[in-house]
Amino acid sequence: MAAERAAQTGAASDVLDELRALSLDEFATVLLNMPDPALPAVSRLLPKMADDEVQRSWTGNAGYPLLQQSLNFVRSVALQCVQLTGRPLSGRSVLDFGCGYGRIIRLMYYYNDPSRIWGVDPWTRSIELCREAGMLGNFALSDYLPRDLPVNGTRFDLIYAFSVFTHLSERATKQALSTLRHYIESDGLCVITIRPKEYWDVAANAGHGVDAALMKHRHDGPGFAFFPHAVAPVDGDVTYGDTSLTFSWLRANIPDWKIVGYDRSLDDPLQIIVYLRPA
């Protein structure tokens, strides 16, 4: 394999150059299986994949089913980058806001050099896992109620936040989106996911103590429904839980952004992908 030969004498960037000759699915499969005994040199240079326990703890899924969901998201982003900005995803400066253990960043290596990719997360363990795995790129710890980001003043062509705004309080949602606006290029694209109203029936059936009728009433009324988890408050606010919100709420409460499109995947119907541009 050309990537294995490149790894024996080159750097991780040389390996990624060779792997980009593959299809996106093939590229993703290689990274999913790191370290791979059949590719010892490549395995020394590319990040180790998080184990199944970590994957499920962070996302509720693992392995190939989770990879399929991740690929669907990345393909949507790649398509909408072209349709909404007129430029491809390749060669962009990218921020993963709420990067977790880096599952989506691994797929972004297909399009961009790791030096142009940043991942931030307010949970120390997330950043630790990225570093322990040997993730390529830039990683930093952010605040739960961020007023700025530890990205050395970088402005980004693409910011995405997968399954982040599905968990934030109303205050944290407004604060985070306001802050992200300061880090987007004027012609950049911001991608978030939100929950539909139907999520609350699933949450109630899972036995989490959720009053589905009440949450759906809040979703239909004010447009923002939040069920806080039993976590410590941040500046007097429990920022983390389960959240659904509407397009109408977004339009009324994030004046710095405008909604320019949305997408959904049959493999992950409880995540609505929303595309934002600077207002």
Q: Write down the pLDDT at residue 72.
A: 97
Q: Where are the alpha helices (DSSP H) in the chain?
A: 2-9, 12-19, 24-32, 40-45, 52-59, 63-85, 103-108, 124-132, 170-181, 199-205, 212-220, 247-253
The per-residue pLDDT of the chain, averaged, comes to 96
Q: What tens digit of pLDDT does each residue of 173-193 get?
A: 999 999 999 999 999 999 999
Calpha distance 102→138 (Å, rounded): 11
The tokens 């996911």 sit on which residue?
A: 193
* Per-state percent for the chain, helix, strand, coil, to nearest 5: 40, 20, 40
Please determine, for residue 216, whether its predicted confidence score (pLDDT) is greater than 80.
yes
N- to C-terminal Cα distance for the chain?
47
CB distance 193 to 59 below 8 Å:
no
Q: Which amino acid is at 236?
A: G
Q: Write down the pLDDT at residue 73.
A: 98
- Chain-centroid distance of CA 86 in Å reads 22
- Name the pLDDT band for 206 (thresholds 50, 70, 90): confident
Calpha distance 154→183 (Å, rounded): 7
Q: Write down the pLDDT at residue 208.
A: 79
Q: In this structure, what token pair is assigned to residue 47?
A: 């990040």
Burial of 231 (0-12, 13-18, 19+ CB in 10 A): exposed
Its CATH class, for the domain covering 66-278, is alpha beta
Q: Write down the pLDDT at residue 94.
A: 98
Q: In this structure, what token pair is assigned to residue 98?
A: 């709420």
**Domain boundaries in the chain?**
1-46, 66-278
Q: Write down the pLDDT at residue 215.
A: 97
Q: Write down the pLDDT at residue 207.
A: 79
Calpha distance 55→63 (Å, rounded): 8
* Average pLDDT over every residue of 269-277: 97
Q: What tens digit of pLDDT does each residue of 49-95 get?
A: 999 999 999 999 999 999 999 999 999 999 999 999 999 999 999 99
Q: What sign has the CA pseudo-torsion 132, 134, 138, 144?
A: negative
Q: Write down the pLDDT at residue 213.
A: 96
List residues bridging with 245 in a β-sheet: 224
Q: Write down the pLDDT at residue 230.
A: 86
Residues of the chain above pLDDT 70, percent: 100
Give the lowest-confidence range in 132-146, 150-164, 194-208.
194-208
Calpha distance 76→24 (Å, rounded): 13
Q: Write down the pLDDT at residue 135.
A: 98
Alpha-carbon torsion angle 20, 22, 25, 27, nearest 10: -50
Please determine, for residue 1, whether its predicted confidence score (pLDDT) is greater than 80.
no
Residues of the chain above pLDDT 90, percent: 94
Give the lowest-confidence range in 49-53, 150-154, 224-228, 233-237.
233-237
| Secondary structure (3-state) at 128 | helix
CB distance 64 to 32 below 8 Å:
yes
Calpha distance 47→57 (Å, rounded): 19
CB distance 207 to 255 below 8 Å:
no
Calpha distance 262→246 (Å, rounded): 12
| Secondary structure (3-state) at 194 | strand
Q: Write down the pLDDT at residue 97.
A: 98
